Structure 1
Amino acid sequence: MKFNILDFLLPREVKFFKYMTSQAEIFIESCEVFKKMVSSIDTLSEDETKNMIKRIGELEQKGDDLEHLIIDELHKTFITPLDREDIHLIAINVDKSLDILNSIARKFEIYGVKKVPVNVCRFADVIIEISIELRNLFAALEKKENIIEIVKKMHELENKADTLFYTSVAELFSDGKHSPVEIIKFKEIYEHLESIVDSVDFIGKIVRGVSVKQG
């Protein structure tokens, strides 16, 4: 690790790593609640489903509050551990992922979804996996180690999500089990689920760029 005299004289504010980790923890919990909901939705009572949707909404609000805190702190902090633009991009993309997941959960309520194709559950597994890798990535970023390996895992999950998306949409149209209205509903849900994975994979690319800049 290279020694920089400026880091000694003007220590960089490390609280941003804690904020990013907190964002990842919120995202993981939200993904886990979503997985629990979709994997048992056909046996849940209406109140149980609503409570899970409500919890995802609460986590989304918690994520919003944390994003606003990060942006406020960026304005107040003289020395940041990463470029301000990178911290800002990371924060807004984690928040974007939470926003999309909350939107999907709300659609379950609006559409009155009582049963889901198995690939919705498989997508839920993928977003849990990539949310955990996101937390690992932020820990690696602070330590400046294993970043490339984690980014690679995240990109593999993004490729897995791409394949799952095309397979899932094809099955909607070909298996003869879904009405036209259901096809429209679930195609939209699949698109949003894929967008979550894309957003998190983009964070990986940002962090990979940071590691290149830092040497």
Structure 2
Amino acid sequence: MFFGKLLPKEGNFFELFNQHAEQIVKAAHAFSQLVAHYSDPLLRDKYNQEVDHAERAADRITHEVNRLLHTTFITPIDREQIHSLINTMDDVADLIQDSAETMALYDVRHMTDEISRLTDLSVKCCERLKHAISLLKDVNEPKTAEAAVKTCEEIDRLESDADRVMRSAMSKLFREEPEVREVIKLKAIYELLETITDKCEDVANLIEGIVLENS
């Protein structure tokens, strides 16, 4: 079958997708720890570095996938699907790093409940994304295809939850925060965190398209 075709010896696209998803989850967990230990400067720096390391590793995998696209004659799924999937996944890792960097650049002094809730939803989205990616290599099997679509639907629901948290956070921020600079800082952080879940949903939509085309 189409999914069973052998790939060149230099690499397997599905394995590279899995490796990238692993780095996304590592970055998300490190960011979650950064938020949880934000009051400790040493731990904050430690987890910032872990986010950076995971993002750089994800970048290297993205470059490898794009390199393979130029040297591989037969690909397991459509080339455009591979290109869109790996680059959208890389956007997720970039946004996690951007969130950590923005907190440092804006000198955010404390975490809010809304940041913690959005972070938790982002982590869950990334974990479900990793699971969906792991199913792609066997998506020609009906049960696996069904499981992949179900996982993508879970990501959609998490993204909707993040939307609701975001709207509530913005309402509270503009009603209750008297300091204009804090409003600007927190608004930027909330928007970045919500965009992580948006981008995970974009990946889920790509996965659903691959499933529909190849199952």
TM over 0.5: yes
Q: Distance in 2 between matches of 1:7 and 1:156?
A: 29
Is it true that 1:103 corresponds to 2:104 in the alignment? Answer: no
CA spacing shift, 1:178–1:141, aligned 2, 3 Å: farther
Report the Cα offset of residue 78 of structure 1: 1.5
SS at match of 2:97: helix
Q: Deviations over 1:150-192 (max 9, x none)?
A: 1110100111111111111111112x24511111111111111
Give the corresponding residue for 2:73: 78
Any conservation in 2 of the 1:133–1:154 contact (CA below 8 Å)? yes
Aligned residue identity for 1:34:
F
Structure 1 consecutive aligned stretches of length 4 or more whose deviation exceeds 4 Å: none
Is it true that 1:148 corresponds to 2:149 in the alignment? Answer: yes
CA spacing shift, 1:157–1:32, aligned 2, 3 Å: same
Report the Cα offset of residue 16 of structure 1: 1.0
Any conservation in 1 of the 2:32–2:119 contact (CA below 8 Å)? yes
CA spacing shift, 1:20–1:104, aligned 2, 3 Å: same
Is it true that 1:202 corresponds to 2:202 in the alignment? Answer: yes
Give the corresponding residue for 2:193: 193
Which residue of the other structure, out of 28, 31, 34, is the alignment partner of 2:31? 34
Q: What pairs with 1:11-160 in structure 2 (closer than 5 Å)?
A: 11-12=6-7, 15-42=12-39, 44=40, 46-144=41-139, 145=144, 146-160=147-161
Report the Cα offset of residue 54 of structure 1: 2.0
Aligned residue identity for 2:62:
E
Any conservation in 1 of the 2:25–2:127 contact (CA below 8 Å)? yes
Any conservation in 1 of the 2:37–2:44 contact (CA below 8 Å)? no
TM-score normalised to structure 2 length: 0.90
- Identity among equivalent positions (%) equals 23
SS at match of 1:51: helix
TM-score normalised to structure 1 length: 0.90
Any conservation in 2 of the 1:50–1:109 contact (CA below 8 Å)? no
Q: Deviations over 1:118-137 (max 9, x none)?
A: 11011111111111111110
With 33-42 and 152-161 compared, the bigger mean Cα shift is at 33-42
Any conservation in 1 of the 2:125–2:197 contact (CA below 8 Å)? yes
Equivalenced residue count is 207
CA spacing shift, 1:164–1:29, aligned 2, 3 Å: same
Q: Deviations over 1:21-72 (max 9, x none)?
A: 1111111111111111112212x1x232122212211211111111000100
Aligned residue identity for 2:151:
I
SS at match of 1:113: coil
Aligned residue identity for 1:90:
L
SS at match of 1:79: coil
Report the Cα offset of residue 103 of structure 1: 1.2
Aligned residue identity for 1:19:
L
Report the Cα offset of residue 80 of structure 1: 1.2
